[in-house]
Amino acid sequence: MSRNPFDDNSDGDPFEDDPFGDSSISSALKEGKSNQRLTEDTRDAIPLHSVRRSEDAGGFLSNVGFGGGRSGSYKPLEADTDANTGYSGGMSKTDSYSMDSREAELRRREEALESREQELRTREANVNSMANGARPPLNFPPLYPIMYHNIDLEVPIGDRRTVRTIFYIWLALEAILVFNCVACLIVMISNASDVSNAGAMFGSSFVYLFTITLGSFFLWYRPVYNAYMKDSSMFFYLFFIFNGFHLLFDAYMAVGVPSAGSAGMIIMLQCLSSGKTAGAALSGITFSLWVLHFLVSSFMYIKVRRHYKARGHTFTEAKQQAYMGFAQSGAGQAAVGGAANAYIRSNTGNFV
């Protein structure tokens, strides 16, 4: 009796007894039947939740060689875990670190923006108060305030570093003056035979503590502060003139002329010849400090000069600003008023 070719429960070839059957079709059906059994057995052995979906069309069967996809073996989800990092879910440790770095950078930028906004609000409040006739409270010098001094609020952002550096140079000058006075005192006490007029030298160094401090602040530091704050050609010229004299003063103090108030190079050599080690050592340090201060001040002088030229300032502009400033000042207005009264009282109408 011949077997039904469409019987699913049959284990043999359904077209085995077909006289018209093709041998290639029969072998293909056998191979498909075998793969189907392999698929069923594999499906029973592997949990469905641990099988990774194939990237190709064909789904699960494509991974086991059936269903039209490329043949291969299944890969559990745990295989997606980075063996080196221990991170799963498609994110490596490097990606996580990069994300943390970006978040830290964003937080840093946000804090910088908030600080900038606060600074701008404070500066705007100061400008508004000045426009209304109210000046900010005096804050400099700290012990006895006589003026308002705030580089962060009054100087443009791009120029703050330069102005702050010049301010530090001025502070360094005060420290050197104090050290120079102490060195002159030690030289006087050591009573070096080759050092003449040590008492006059110490007295001059003590006077420098006050005269040079006030003169340097009002003659070249405050002008360069106002020059950057107001972009004023006149204040730039004041800085160039008086800071140039200050450079000569640094060189003069480094030389250490006897009785001139400086424990410089000459005083150091005289102390060495007299065998006064302490005085020679302090004089050598003082000499080095004056030389260093001269070099740094010269560098900043050149830098301010370049900025002045880059801004396009001229000497004619500085003279015009000086004339306008004098005319707007109380002394200028008094002088103009006196000249006008003299002209009116003159019978000839000419100045005599």
CA distances from 278 to 1, 191, 195, 255, 284 (A): 131, 11, 14, 19, 10
pLDDT per 10-residue tile (average), the chain, 352 residues: 50 52 56 54 49 46 45 47 48 68 86 79 66 72 90 90 96 97 93 82 94 95 94 93 96 92 92 90 96 97 94 84 73 62 61 48
Contact present, 42 and 74 (Cβ < 8 Å): yes
Per-residue pLDDT tens over the stretch 43-52: 554 454 444 4
CA 252, CA 209: separation in Å to the nearest integer?
16
CA 94, CA 250: separation in Å to the nearest integer?
56
Q: Indicate the residue type of 221.
A: Y
Which candidate, 284, 214, 215, 291, places its Cα nearest to that of 252? 291
pTM listed for this prediction: 0.60
Per-residue pLDDT tens over the stretch 246-270: 999 999 999 999 888 999 999 999 9
Mean pLDDT of the chain: 76
Which pLDDT score, from 0 to 100, does residue 214 have?
Answer: 94
